[in-house]
Amino acid sequence: MNYTNLFEDTFSQGLGMLTSCAATHGDPFLYTNLSGDIGGVNQLLLNFFGKQEISSISPLEQWLHPQGLELSYILSKSGEYRGKAIANTKTYEVVIRTEVLVIGDEFVVAIVLRDTSALERALLAERYFERFKKKLLTNISHEFRTPMNAIIGFVDLLRSSPLSSWQQEYIEMAGKSASSMMRNIENLLELMQVEGGGIHTNIQPFRPFDVYENFSMQFNEMLDAKEIRWSVLIDPRLPLEIMGDQDKILTILRNLVQNAIKFTPQSGQVLLEILILKQEHNKIEVEYAVSDTGIGIESGRMRTLLRPFSSAWENQRRGQDGMGVGLSLSHKYIDMMQSHLMLASEVGRGSRFSFRISHEIHDHSHLNTIEAKKIAFYSHDLHSTQTLLLEKYLDLFKLKVIELSSLVNPQLNFCDVLLIDVPHLSASQVESLKATYPHLQIVAVLDAQSKEKEGYLRKTVEAIIMAPFLPSTLHKTFSMLGKTVLKEELLPVESVCEETIENAKILVAEDNPINLRLLETILRQHNFQVIAVDNGQKAVDAYLKEPFDLVLMDIDMPVMDGLTANRLIKEIDKRDNRGFTPVIALTAHALIGDRERIIRAGLDAHLAKPIDKNFLLQTIDRYLQLTYQKRKILGV
């Protein structure tokens, strides 16, 4: 049978679609019988081989190789296959599409070849580019964070050194510029990750009180510089563990808080709220909100506010720093978590950004119920933010409170506790109240600006509540109130704990000599015993010789990396029955996903460079207390 003459007839026999597809895409096309003998081709196939006629084309089995299949198989079954075609000593990746038809008494196999070599090369290049981009982002992040850690850290140390007024001014400006540069770099790198599709939600269990209370302490420097009053309302009804993407939520809140501080004038106010809106059996809906008394946002700008870099020019015009990517990044993260960023703003009065996240409950436990007490509350200003927040906390704790208009009040005879919030509370006032109401336990409420009063007031009052108010601190205070030996119980325990923590022995592993010197300086200034090494192997060797209370571990180090060193340290603890020793990663690996990877590898916590000195010390303090508690339970 002459297959070449069948070319026109095949359209009427059902090959029209196949040949049309080949013609449309400019693909080589041929006919064979079931044995693979070529009967007809189009000009594109001849061009593919650089031939003038069919007879000069080698047999099908010599140049067409379906992937993992016999050639006879694809000639007998219609379908689409992948394979290779060899032409002019070059190998091409191809898609082979076959259609087996019966024409008259003969079987005809129509084959279309689509060259995918260019596509494969493009996909290979894309994969290479993605790997290159990821490595580039990682390297940029690491190479920026490592020196910035030293710059910001030593600037912070210089602040507490004896300097002239103009030197102090220079240091303040250098510190602000370095912090601003670091925030811009972090946001830009994360936005690049998001735009490249390299970031996805990572839902893990976390403890909201630990996470959110620690977060609330990270802005002291920015707040103090502008004398801004910082208020926090974290719902004490939150479960002890919930599911969520902790890192993304904190990034969003950090950007919102930093923006609020930036656009709030001197002596303004910024409020962080984390409140349960709705609770079902296994889920809670939480609203996260940041409010300020800043300049507000004009309605015309709200439509473009979330576009990357849209605020950069406005920031420059106002003399503010920032590239305008923080809100755009936050919006993308909120969208990933299937929520929306909401905004209410009034020019000249401030703004409120909020979003809502639905969390599954991982641990239904709550803060223990506080024993009911009769509490009186006196404030010099019942409408102040501080008073309203404290009253809200008391309400959430389900504690009934009597508001007093005067401290000379017969109702105090029937109360157990008096909360007193006055700007100039003195020890003599407290003594006078105690003489009049000897059964009354007095709790002083102080704002951040009154911290210097804490020392002398602690000798006369039963407890002190310091703004910003945090649920775990309030819970501890209110739970202890009512015990007649409150003061005698608390003070010795605190002093012993502080002494023990100050003398703790800490092992530091850090290969960068400048950052190592910085860490040694900070820790020794706070009376810690420090052993410093510059690689993971030396860290393990030092740990074998003697036990430590805590380890600060860099991740990328020569000889032995921090992940391997941590694993060996944990094995030493287990083998020698040393009890719990926390190993905290202190690393420039701080892109999205790095924290999870490092925690999964067995480290107890992750701190990203550049390190905030206060946050570092708070983290060390928290883990040392946990260490001593666990060792006491184990009897180690």
* Residue 282: band (very low, low, confident or very high) from pLDDT cuts 50, 70, 90: very high
Weakest-pLDDT range from 194-208, 461-475, 539-553: 194-208
Burial status of residue 105 (CB atoms within 10 A of its CB: 0-12, 13-18, 19 or more) = exposed
How is residue 598 written in tokens?
Answer: 């490092």
CB 265, CB 294: distance < 8 Å:
yes
* Number of domains the chain is built from: 4
For residue 163, the SS3 value is coil
Burial status of residue 560 (CB atoms within 10 A of its CB: 0-12, 13-18, 19 or more) = middle
Q: Indicate if the pLDDT at residue 304 is higher than 90.
A: no
Q: Indicate if the pLDDT at residue 298 is higher than 70.
A: yes
Q: Which of 425, 450, 481 is the last residue in one of the domains?
A: 481
| pLDDT recorded at residue 389 | 93
Same domain, yes or no: 338 and 204 = yes
Decide which of 242 and 596 is more confident: 242
On average, the pLDDT of the chain sits at: 83
Same domain, yes or no: 310 and 391 = no
Q: Indicate if the pLDDT at residue 12 is higher than 80.
A: no
Q: Indicate if the pLDDT at residue 292 is higher than 90.
A: yes
* Residue 452: band (very low, low, confident or very high) from pLDDT cuts 50, 70, 90: low
Nearest residue to 149 (alpha-carbon basis) of 507, 522, 597: 522
| pLDDT recorded at residue 51 | 86
**Is there a domain that residue 424 lies in?**
yes
| pLDDT recorded at residue 319 | 47
Same domain, yes or no: 103 and 177 = no
- How far does CA 448 lie from the centroid of its chain? 28
Q: Report the alpha-carbon distance of residue 510 to residue 585 in Å, rounded.
A: 10
Same domain, yes or no: 106 and 152 = no
* Residue 497: band (very low, low, confident or very high) from pLDDT cuts 50, 70, 90: very low
Same domain, yes or no: 87 and 177 = no
Q: Indicate if the pLDDT at residue 199 is higher than 80.
A: no
Q: Report the alpha-carbon distance of residue 425 to residue 56 in Å, rounded.
A: 105
**Is there a domain that residue 121 lies in?**
no
Q: Report the alpha-carbon distance of residue 97 to residue 66 in Å, rounded.
A: 11
* Residue 22: band (very low, low, confident or very high) from pLDDT cuts 50, 70, 90: very low
Same domain, yes or no: 191 and 339 = yes
Q: For the full predicted model, state whether its pTM sits above 0.85.
A: no
Same domain, yes or no: 139 and 268 = yes
Burial status of residue 626 (CB atoms within 10 A of its CB: 0-12, 13-18, 19 or more) = middle
Range of the domain at 41: 3-115
Same domain, yes or no: 196 and 322 = yes
For 211-225, what is the mean pLDDT?
Answer: 87
Q: What percent of the chain has pLDDT over 90?
A: 34
For residue 440, the SS3 value is coil
How is residue 204 written in tokens?
Answer: 């893990």
- CA dihedral angle for residue 29, residue 32, residue 38, residue 44, rounded to 10 degrees: 0
Q: Indicate if the pLDDT at residue 399 is higher than 70.
A: yes
| pLDDT recorded at residue 372 | 75
The DSSP secondary-structure symbol of 147 reads H
Q: Which residue has the tokens 């094995």?
A: 571
Domain with 606 in it: what CATH number? 3.40.50.2300
| pLDDT recorded at residue 119 | 74
Q: Which of 115, 148, 173 is the last residue in one of the domains?
A: 115
Q: Which of 309, 339, 363 is the last residue in one of the domains?
A: 363
Peptide bond into 610 cis (omega under 30): yes
CB 568, CB 544: distance < 8 Å:
no
Same domain, yes or no: 318 and 405 = no
| pLDDT recorded at residue 8 | 43
For 145-173, what is the mean pLDDT?
Answer: 86
For 74-85, what is the mean pLDDT?
Answer: 89
Same domain, yes or no: 405 and 532 = no
Helix (H) or strand (E) holding 79: strand 79-87
For 228-242, what is the mean pLDDT?
Answer: 95
Same domain, yes or no: 331 and 427 = no
For 601-612, what is the mean pLDDT?
Answer: 88
* Residue 524: band (very low, low, confident or very high) from pLDDT cuts 50, 70, 90: very high
Q: Report the alpha-carbon distance of residue 11 to residue 33 in Å, rounded.
A: 17
| pLDDT recorded at residue 341 | 92
